[in-house]
Structure 1
């Protein structure tokens, strides 16, 4: 394990065994709402209501770090506590072979979805919670029941499911042929057919996600979202910013145009 104190964060580089240590998992479970999952890391933001838990975690982290490197941890702990307001980034020190995690999706109806894991996995569940927390009705260590009764919730669910790689886990989603038709029963004019053969839907799903609309959204909904997002991401808004920011806005603006044109033809 290595710990680097930077101006803007505490960077912890460690192996997967330490990432799954009880004291580490306990800390992360408390911060589900304030976690950002990166390709091989987790970024945990400060939560004012969890200051005491954060300090306890830093004490345990410092003690573990000192034990690994064989030094007295009290001086190092004082240094870490000075960074108490900064985010904590926990990064894997090496990329491990991806482990497949099977997740089943079941739609009770157009308003409620059950997400269930074949076996317990705190990281995948925490990822789901971090993305869907406001819509989660109830859950266990292997399942979540999600309220998707409005379009924003459905769009959020689609965005969550689009991410398949969490740390070194590769998520494999399964669902029956009635899943999509139940979930999007409001869109009677949208034909789903046999999901196994629906390559076109897989392609267009990306466009719906870009426009932040549920699959099969009406022309009016697509147009409204397109106009709103193009105002937000118009390159002229950031022409005075750094080149990488201008490039980001330009690429996003072009993607919005591409998605809207593609879905206008489909719909």
Structure 2
């Protein structure tokens, strides 16, 4: 394990053994709402409501690190606490090929989706929970039942499933032939004119998702949602030194531009 104290974050580079230590998992589980999953890393932002937990975590981290390298724990802890307001980045140090994790998707109907892991994996499930928490109806250590009764929930689900690489894991989603037709059964209620127009809408479904609008939404609805989202994701709104966060907002902003430009033509 290596710990580097930078001006803009605390960088922890570690292996799987430490990443899966009880005190590490406990800290990360509590911060699921303020955590950003990156490739081979997780970035934990400061949460004012969990300040005591943060101090406790840094104390355990300092003890673990000091014991391993035989130096003064209390002195190192005081140094880390000076960076108390900065994000904590836990980076996985490995040259191994990503491990495949199979996740099965099943739609009971247009309102409810079951997500099931073929084998237990706390990190992948924590990622799912962190992204879909407000829509989770119930869950186990290998499954989640998600309420997708509104289009914002469906949009959030699609954004979640678009991320395929979590830490050392490569996610492979599987679903039956009826998954999409059940999930988007409301599509049948829309009138899109001729067949050519209907095909255009199907092909551009992901653009509606990006703009967080139902399929076939009106031009006014698309414009309103677009204006709201670009204010949130405009790169000038990102006051953060972390390159990954800036890139994330920039990429989202670019997707919004592309989606709105395309749907203005087909809507």
Q: TM-score, normalised by structure 1?
A: 0.81
Change (3 A) 1:59 1:160: same
Q: 1:104, 1:174 within 8 Å by CA — same for their partners in 2?
A: yes
Match of 2:82 in 1: 82
Match of 1:178 in 2: 178
Deviation of the 1:261 alpha carbon = 4.5
Structure 1: gaps spanning 5 or more residues: 191-199, 239-243
Q: 1:95, 1:168 within 8 Å by CA — same for their partners in 2?
A: no
Output aligned runs, 1:209-228, within 5 Å: 209-214=209-214, 216-220=215-219, 221-228=221-228
Deviation of the 1:160 alpha carbon = 0.6
Change (3 A) 1:95 1:212: farther
**Separation in structure 2 between the aligned mates of residue 264 and residue 151 of structure 1, nearest angstrom:** 20
Match of 1:120 in 2: 120
Match of 1:40 in 2: 40
Q: 2:201, 2:266 within 8 Å by CA — same for their partners in 1?
A: no
**Separation in structure 1 between the aligned mates of residue 158 and residue 205 of structure 2, nearest angstrom:** 8
Match of 2:21 in 1: 21
What do the CA deviations read for 1:89-148 (whole angstroms, capped 9, x no partner)? 111223431111011111111111111111111111111111111111222211111111
Change (3 A) 1:203 1:165: farther
**Separation in structure 2 between the aligned mates of residue 263 and residue 177 of structure 1, nearest angstrom:** 27
Q: 1:219, 1:264 within 8 Å by CA — same for their partners in 2?
A: no
**Separation in structure 2 between the aligned mates of residue 98 and residue 203 of structure 1, nearest angstrom:** 31
Change (3 A) 1:227 1:64: closer
Q: 1:110, 1:183 within 8 Å by CA — same for their partners in 2?
A: yes
Q: 1:106, 1:176 within 8 Å by CA — same for their partners in 2?
A: yes
Higher mean C-alpha deviation, range 28-37 or range 85-94:
85-94
1:8 aligns with 2:8: yes
**Separation in structure 1 between the aligned mates of residue 82 and residue 254 of structure 2, nearest angstrom:** 43
Deviation of the 1:223 alpha carbon = 4.5
Higher mean C-alpha deviation, range 152-161 or range 78-87:
78-87
Match of 2:194 in 1: none
What do the CA deviations read for 1:40-62 (whole angstroms, capped 9, x no partner)? 21011222222222222111111
What do the CA deviations read for 1:2-28 (whole angstroms, capped 9, x no partner)? 111122221111112211112111111
Match of 1:92 in 2: 92
Match of 1:57 in 2: 57
RMSD, aligned CA: 3.3
Structure 2: gaps spanning 5 or more residues: 191-199, 238-242
Q: 1:210, 1:259 within 8 Å by CA — same for their partners in 2?
A: yes
**Separation in structure 1 between the aligned mates of residue 248 and residue 37 of structure 2, nearest angstrom:** 20
Deviation of the 1:259 alpha carbon = 2.5
Q: TM-score, normalised by structure 2?
A: 0.81
**Separation in structure 2 between the aligned mates of residue 211 and residue 252 of structure 1, nearest angstrom:** 10
